Amino acid sequence: MKIRDISKEYQMGEVKVKALQDVSFDIQEGEFVVILGPSGSGKSTLLNIIGGMDTPDNGKVFLRDLEITKFNDKKLTKYRREKIGFVFQFYNLMANLTAKENVELATEICKDSLDVNQVLEDVGLSDRKNHFPSQMSGGEQQRVAIARAVAKNPLLLLCDEPTGALDYKTGISILSLLNRVNKQYGKTVVVITHNAAIANMADKVVRMRSGKIIKIEHNDSPVAPERIEW
């Protein structure tokens, strides 16, 4: 993926807020990328633009040979459905569906989805697949959310503060799972976070502040998630 000169402003009352200012960088296929920055740094806006949930005022985004920023609403919907897997901080599961049904719901709208039972087994939920979200812990619900995203067989997995609502031990288990998805499935994974410790496990770290990229770091020896502490 190529992100080129992306800018975005929001009108907040009488004030214009520059969420992103001339942001450019590349994401290689198969990379584990962490976009790191404090609240208000523009990282969520950037993730939303990469994922086709928002559009920039200026600049271009390319995924392989697709220029996302040229897409109309219909094409953006198709892009989100077929190319992107989303994992959010608060799971966003359907409360009246079991874990398996939540994952199946996502695969029904995709062309080349993966086997639901196999993905649930890979995320460690074979024995919990017939449970409802209310019967599961936060960590288990996040595993369902990751399974739902992975089962779509997307090109890109976008994770917005995936450990933000979890305790340390559970958070590490989720990071380990994302690391395994990256390696086992060969998925490109992008995680946005304010937690600097998570950057240690990334192939690439994009540091943001006030809507700008202040530094891009390449990590030749990423740390195993189990060795991360915060």
Model confidence at 90, pLDDT cuts 50, 70, 90, reads: confident
Q: Residue 107 has what pLDDT? A: 92
> What is the per-residue pLDDT across 177-211, written as a single tens digit (0 to 9) for each?
999 999 988 999 999 999 999 999 999 999 999 99
Give the number of domains in the chain: 1
For residue 172, tell me if it sits in a domain. yes
For residue 65, tell me if it sits in a domain. no
Q: Residue 201 has what pLDDT? A: 96
Q: Residue 111 has what pLDDT? A: 83
For residue 160, tell me if it sits in a domain. yes
Between vectors from CA 81 to CA 114 and to CA 182, what angle results, nearest 5°? 50
Residue 65 pLDDT > 90: no
Q: What is the CATH number of the domain that holds 158?
A: 3.40.50.300
Per the structure, the complete domain to which residue 139 belongs is given by 30-42+83-227
For residue 54, tell me if it sits in a domain. no
Which helix (H) or strand (E) segment is 191 a member of? strand 188-193
For residue 211, tell me if it sits in a domain. yes
